[in-house]
């Protein structure tokens, strides 16, 4: 039978507060899969008109799929969250773009008609599972010079970007990083971020219980002067520091996506429509440029230019990577369309979970911009990739 692609809409999204990775972080005593369970349960609580048995898939991303991030985490967390046993699930890995890929995968299935509705998200507990844990890179990468050794160290790839784009100085990167911190602080003061956070019960090293209800990483008092004094761990006299990069973090995200007609029939909100998406490969040594070709392909395919884009949520793995994107598209460093509430340099970047955080913030921002039409969520991806999703605001 002939098929017609269906419109796919972003219904709702939530995330845990992001924590600092390590023995003293928010989630040092909390399992990764339990973070995902908290997200799934909160999505159902906020959307009571959604019958759990209608969920056609649970796709959960994790970059390090071992321990409490293993066991086909999409399916295992569906069971742990109390979803009907008839609801399937799976795990996915595209490093930093894991949750983004989870959303695009299930959305493609919905558009095709194989599913009506799905939950997609990601988790990373970098305190328990540091990036690269248990990985055994094939020696051919180096022996056959398929990639430079720097390709396997994300901070080193950021230093390579500074080499490629000398106009992006450390001072400029530090200024961008400080601005991100200040924008997050302003968004918190205005109550913009808290609405999408799932409070999580946590224990500290002594066994005492507490409640995680705000992000742990932000440093609202950050100044350019403070950042200028930080060390450059990836290269002597380099330009990449802990202050102009995202940190090592723990956290989980999740969202509901559905066919637009299904959302309407169930009385679910439709916050934005997925228009198109694109993933692109680049040289692994400069993986930070990945969002550029992914975005170029997406705009060209939809006969759009950057002037048509009202809002841009770009993941701030490194300030230099964001600035390279902005320079390419001739966007000012302080363009109000870009990360209006700050980004990962302040909030944190729990790898595979971050793509849905971008979507959550974009959906909220659409609601506050009556004249907006199109928005982008975009990010660089380890091993030389980039991903971009084009969204359209839905006007009631």
In a domain, 81, yes or no: no
Q: Is the pTM of this model over 0.85?
A: yes
Distance from C-alpha of 181 to C-alpha of 106, rounded to nearest angstrom: 33
**pLDDT, tens digit, for every residue of 85-103?**
999 999 999 999 999 999 9
Write down the catalytic residue from 96, 125, 129, 255.
96
Q: What number of other Cβ atoms are within 10 A of residue 138's Cβ?
A: 9
Question: What is the percent of the chain with per-residue pLDDT over 70, rounded to a whole number?
Answer: 100
Query: DSSP string of 29-79?
Result: TS-HHHHHHHHHHHHHHH-TTS-GGG---EEEE-SS-SGGG-STHHHHHHH
In a domain, 253, yes or no: no
- 380 labelled catalytic: yes
**What's the domain range around 343?**
145-192+275-393
**pLDDT, tens digit, for every residue of 99-156?**
999 999 999 999 999 999 999 999 999 999 998 888 899 999 989 999 999 998 999 9
Mean pLDDT score, 232-257: 97
Write down the catalytic residue from 125, 129, 162, 349.
349
- Helix boundaries (H) for the chain: 32-46, 73-80, 98-112, 140-143, 154-164, 170-189, 224-228, 260-266, 291-301, 319-328, 344-347, 354-367
Burial zone of 194 (CB within 10 Å; 0-12 exposed, 13-18 middle, 19+ buried): middle
Return the pLDDT at 206: 82
Provide the 8-state DSSP code for 197.
B
Return the pLDDT at 205: 78
Return the pLDDT at 201: 96
**pLDDT, tens digit, for every residue of 24-63?**
999 999 999 999 999 999 999 999 999 999 999 999 999 9
- Is the distance from CB of 374 to CB of 391 less than 8 angstroms? yes
Write down the catalytic residue from 129, 162, 255, 380.
380
Please tell me the total count of domains within the chain: 1
In a domain, 247, yes or no: no
Distance from C-alpha of 160 to C-alpha of 320, rounded to nearest angstrom: 10
Single out the residue of 67, 110, 65 nearest to residue 91, CA to CA: 65
Single out the residue of 291, 354, 325 nearest to residue 101, CA to CA: 354
**What is the number of H-type helices and E-type strands within the chain?**
12, 12
Mean pLDDT score, 220-245: 97
State the pLDDT confidence band at 355, using cuts at 50, 70 and 90. Answer: very high
Return the pLDDT at 320: 98
Mean pLDDT of the chain: 96
Distance from C-alpha of 309 to C-alpha of 19, rounded to nearest angstrom: 31
- Three-state DSSP at 163 gives helix
- 96 labelled catalytic: yes
Q: Is the pLDDT of residue 315 over 90?
A: yes
In a domain, 379, yes or no: yes
Return the pLDDT at 161: 97
- Is the distance from CB of 381 to CB of 94 less than 8 angstroms? yes
- Three-state DSSP at 186 gives helix
Q: Which long-range contacts (CB under 8 A, 24 or more apart) does 293-297 make?
A: 293/386, 294/378, 294/385, 294/386, 294/387, 294/388, 295/325, 295/329, 295/376, 295/378, 295/386, 295/388
In a domain, 45, yes or no: no
In a domain, 239, yes or no: no
- Domain of residue 166, CATH code: 3.40.47.10
Return the pLDDT at 395: 83
Question: What is the percent of the chain with per-residue pLDDT over 90, rounded to a whole number?
Answer: 95
Distance from C-alpha of 331 to C-alpha of 352, rounded to nearest angstrom: 27
Q: Is the pLDDT of residue 396 over 70?
A: no
- 255 labelled catalytic: no
In a domain, 361, yes or no: yes
- Three-state DSSP at 158 gives helix
Distance from C-alpha of 348 to C-alpha of 326, rounded to nearest angstrom: 21
Backbone φ and ψ for 194, nearest 5 degrees, come out as: -60, -30
Distance from C-alpha of 313 to C-alpha of 361, rounded to nearest angstrom: 8
Check the CA dihedral 291-258-70-343 and report its sign: positive
């Amino acid at each position: 039978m002939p098929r017609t692609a269906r419109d796919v809409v972003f219904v709702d999204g939530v995330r845990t507060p992001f924590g600092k990775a390590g023995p003293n972080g928010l989630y040092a005593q909390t399992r990764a899969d339990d973070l995902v369970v908290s997200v799934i349960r909160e999505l159902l609580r906020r959307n009571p008109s959604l019958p759990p048995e209608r969920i056609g898939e649970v796709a959960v991303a994790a970059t390090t799929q071992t321990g409490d991030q293993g066991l086909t985490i999409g399916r295992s967390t569906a069971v742990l969250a109390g979803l009907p046993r008839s609801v399937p699930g799976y795990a996915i890995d595209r490093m930093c773009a894991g949750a983004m890929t989870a959303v695009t995968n299930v959305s493609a299935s919905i558009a095709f008609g194989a599913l009506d509705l799905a939950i997609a998200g990601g988790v990373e507990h970098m305190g328990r599972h540091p990036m690269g844990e248990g990985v055994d890179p094939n020696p051919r990468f180096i022996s056959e010079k398929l990639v430079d050794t720097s390709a396997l160290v994300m901070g080193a790839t950021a230093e390579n970007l500074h080499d490629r784009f000398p106009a992006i100085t450390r001072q400029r990167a530090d200024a961008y990083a400080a601005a991100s911190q200040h924008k997050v602080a302003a968004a918190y003061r205005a109550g913009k971020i808290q609405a999408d956070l799932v409070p999580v019960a946590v224990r500290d090293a002594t066994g005492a219980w507490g409640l995680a209800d705000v992000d742990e990483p932000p440093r609202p008092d950050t100044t350019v002067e403070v950042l200028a004094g930080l060390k450059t761990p990836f290269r002597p006299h380099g330009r990449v520091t802990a202050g102009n990069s995202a940190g090592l973090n723990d956290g989980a995200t999740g969202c509901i996506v559905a066919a637009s007609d299904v959302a309407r029939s169930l009385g679910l909100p439709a916050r934005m429509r997925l228009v198109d998406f694109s993933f692109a490969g680049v040289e692994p040594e400069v993986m930070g440029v990945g969002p550029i070709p992914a975005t170029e392909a997406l705009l060209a395919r939809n006969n759009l230019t950057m002037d048509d884009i009202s809002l841009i949520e770009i993941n701030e793995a490194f300030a230099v990577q964001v600035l390279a994107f902005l320079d390419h598209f001739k966007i000012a460093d302080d363009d109000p369309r870009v990360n209006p509430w700050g980004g990962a340099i302040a909030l944190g970047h729990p790898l595979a979970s971050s793509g849905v955080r971008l979507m959550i913030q974009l959906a909220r921002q659409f609601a506050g911009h009556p004249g907006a039409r199109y928005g982008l969520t975009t990010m660089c991806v380890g091993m030389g990739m980039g991903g971009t999703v084009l969204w359209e605001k839905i006007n009631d």
